[in-house]
């Protein structure tokens, strides 16, 4: 994961869709979120955990989002896997304008219900969060 700085506000410019990773995520600090891709589909996620609002970092070793506050776990596209979160990570609306993904942080869709994983990506390796701390 590498951070991407951008303009503040509800319309935040990211990068060209083809530069968005398909095996990881791209942090967009100005949007307080992440971009990832599944095939040609871009996914724009809020970094806030739906449980209590903690920032949920992406763990490169496990290939999942892991909340350090209370242990919720989400797959790479923000779908719920485990923990106290009531749903998956929320998504931002986005559009591609002049070849660049523009995230609309003022237009948020609630994350999907638990049990609705749409991608088949098993855990890649060890967790980044010490389970005794969550």
What is the rounded end-to-end Cα distance, in angstroms, of the chain? 22
Task: Give the mean pLDDT of 11-33.
Answer: 95
Between residues 114 and 132, the one the model is more confident about: 114
pLDDT in tens, 58-94: 999 999 999 999 999 999 999 999 999 999 999 999 9
Distance, in Å, from the CA atom of 25 to the CA atom of 116, rounded to the nearest integer, reads 20
- Are 25 and 63 in contact by the 8 Å Cβ rule? The answer is no
CA diameter of the chain: 47
For residue 27, the model assigns a pLDDT of: 97
For residue 130, the model assigns a pLDDT of: 75
For residue 111, the model assigns a pLDDT of: 96
Nearest CA to 90 among 98, 80, 99? 80
User: Residue 48 has what DSSP assignment?
Assistant: B
pLDDT in tens, 31-66: 999 999 999 999 999 999 999 999 999 999 999 999
pLDDT at 134 over 60: no
Domains of the chain as residue ranges with CATH: 2-109 (2.102.10.10)
pLDDT at 4 over 70: no
- Are 34 and 102 in contact by the 8 Å Cβ rule? The answer is no
Q: Is 51 buried (19+), middle (13-18) or exposed (0-12) by CB count in 10 A?
A: middle
- Are 101 and 57 in contact by the 8 Å Cβ rule? The answer is no
- Is 0.85 surpassed by the pTM of this model? yes
């Amino acid at each position: 994961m590498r951070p991407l700085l951008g303009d503040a506000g509800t319309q935040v410019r990211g990068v060209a869709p083809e530069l968005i990773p398909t095996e990881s995520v791209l942090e967009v600090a100005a949007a307080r979120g992440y971009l990832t891709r599944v095939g040609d589909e871009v996914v724009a996620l809020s970094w806030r955990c739906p449980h209590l609002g903690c920032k949920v970092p992406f763990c490169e070793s496990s290939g999942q989002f892991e909340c350090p506050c209370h242990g919720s776990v989400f797959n790479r596209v923000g779908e719920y896997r485990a923990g106290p979160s009531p749903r998956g990570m929320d998504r931002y609306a986005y559009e591609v304008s002049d070849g660049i993904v523009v995230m609309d942080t003022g237009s948020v869709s609630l994350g999907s219900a638990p049990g609705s994983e749409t991608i088949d990506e098993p855990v890649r390796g060890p967790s980044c969060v010490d389970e005794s701390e969550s």
